[in-house]
Structure 1
Amino acid sequence: MRVDQIAAQLYTLREFCKDEQSLKETLQKVRAMGYEAVQVSGIGPIPHDVVKKLAEEAGLKICATHISYQALTENIEDVIAQHKLWDCKYVGLGSLPQEYQTSGEGYAEFAHNANQFAAKLAEHDLEFVYHNHHFEFTRFGPKTGMDILLEEGSKDFGFELDLYWVQAGGVNPIEMIERVDGRMKVVHLKDMQIVDKQQVFAEIGEGSMNYKTIIDALRKIDVEWYVVEQDVCRRDPFESLQISFNYLKQLAIN
């Protein structure tokens, strides 16, 4: 991991990205922290060309996105055009639609559908990446939902593991990283603390996850983008992103 591979997930700052002016200010602040890239997710309805302009003005690369399932299934040509405009290779889906979550058959049906739009993206040199939560580790008979996605997903079905949610799902993050070797170029990083006997989100280096070992494992599978995301911050979200960046910078090799 190099410093220029560390990105900020704008979902962390979603309350500060609702219109053009607030997005402009937020991107400038993110660049000032030391980040050189962002993942676009959770921003307001801002035209694609404006987002591109603001990112370029801030000196930030758009490394990945989260796109709605509806956009991927009903308006994929716009998704392709958007990512080409942004010079952004990785097209992410932030969560499994609820209708597929209740059975193993649902996971398999989703994987079949995703294989189709993933193949379409691949025709344009774009890559589909799936972002997990903890519910994918629900067991349906002998297999978990994640097992099914891994088995039924095609070569074009990539992953964007969220390592906090892997841990919350009761799975060793290192083992899960090894399972997606060759299928993951973007990863989500956040830490976990136990507060009042409950799992809570934490800045990287402030929790109980062994990120030195985790980063070593991610290097071995040649991850391209290390994206910092914190769903809920217990301090100012900008401060949270700065703390995580400062810690990861210590682990970076330049």
Structure 2
Amino acid sequence: MTTPETSVQLYAVRQALDDDLDGTFARLAGIGFGNVEAFDFVRRVDALKAAAARHGLAVPTAHAILLRETAQTPDGLLQVTPPGQTMAAAAELGVQVLIDPYVPLDQWTTADDIARTAETINTRAQEAASLGLRVGYHNHEHELRTQVGGRPALEVFADQLEPDVLLEVDLYWAAAGGADPAQLLQRLGERVVAVHVKDGPMRPGITSRQMPQDQSPAGTGDVPLAEALAAGSSLRYAVVEFDHYEGDIFAGISQSYDFLQQTLETAR
């Protein structure tokens, strides 16, 4: 097992970020994070860069729509900008890996669908390389639940990616899709650069199209997070995230951070 650095996806604090960007960065740094994962960054790259520098935070990974011309995320929050503009903003922010976070279910149902998506991301990887960026993809449950040729669609997709294209495995959504997260990471191997560390009860029929309201701090739900973290052979980042949290979001993030620190320390 490698020992990944901890990070936090800014989507989890999206409302706080809109209300007080600098104060939000201060609170995340105060919890102990040295990294954040950006989203919706093109329109506010200067503000994010300044706040990150002020509070000693790096932005090694970021989410942005790269594979479609229109956004169809369930929450509608991610805006689409031309890939070149997105990549330039990511490079300005210091991002190393630019990750597309969502390709909808209807584009994972056939081998031809998957091949088209793989071809597009391979092309984006070539474009990004000129700026010193790598690109990747982040799953939800449907890429694991959907089977093509008797295999999860995500794994069929991974087989068609160029060697420099990476994956960020969301452990919660992988489990919701019926996968064993640790075994999935073992099969995907060195392509997995990051994981989303989130937790909650695993109920039948959990779907990202009807966002669950019962996600919980890491280590308090049904997702075998410690086992998955131990299985990641080349993980560089373990990223705390909540899609939705009913409690104090900063308290939930802090509890997840403590779980991660304890888990990674035990594994050393």
What is the Cα deviation at residue 187 of structure 1? 1.3
Residue aligning to 1:36: 34
Superposed CA RMSD in Å reads: 2.6
Q: How does 1:49-68 map to 2 (within 5 A)?
A: 49-68=46-65
What is the Cα deviation at residue 58 of structure 1? 1.6
Structure 1 residue identity aligned to 2:135: F
Residue aligning to 2:241: 229
SS in 1 for 2:251: helix
Q: Deviations over 1:151-179 (max 9, x none)?
A: 22221321000011111111111111012
Residue aligning to 1:100: 107
Consecutive unaligned residues in structure 2, runs of 5 or more: 71-79, 207-211
Q: How does 1:238-249 map to 2 (within 5 A)?
A: 238-249=250-261
What is the Cα deviation at residue 214 of structure 1? 2.1
Q: How does 1:10-159 map to 2 (within 5 A)?
A: 10-18=10-18, 22-42=20-40, 46-69=43-66, 70=68, 75-97=82-104, 100-137=107-144, 138-159=146-167
| 1:178 is aligned to 2:182 | no
Aligned partner of 2:219 among 195, 199, 205: 205
Counterparts of 1:240 and 1:193, CA distance in 2: 15
SS in 2 for 1:65: strand
Counterparts of 1:144 and 1:59, CA distance in 2: 39
Contact kept, 8 Å, 2:3 with 2:236, in 1: the verdict is: no
- Relative to the length of structure 1, the TM-score reads 0.88
| 1:163 is aligned to 2:177 | no
Counterparts of 1:136 and 1:196, CA distance in 2: 16
Q: Deviations over 1:199-244 (max 9, x none)?
A: 74221111123333222212xx121111001111121111110110
SS in 1 for 2:91: helix
Consecutive unaligned residues in structure 1, runs of 5 or more: none
Residue aligning to 2:77: none
Contact kept, 8 Å, 1:14 with 1:42, in 2: the verdict is: no
Higher mean C-alpha displacement, 206-215 vs 164-173? 206-215
Q: Percent identity?
A: 24
Contact kept, 8 Å, 1:71 with 1:79, in 2: the verdict is: no
SS in 1 for 2:167: strand
What is the Cα deviation at residue 18 of structure 1? 2.1
Counterparts of 2:106 and 2:167, CA distance in 1: 20
Counterparts of 1:179 and 1:197, CA distance in 2: 24
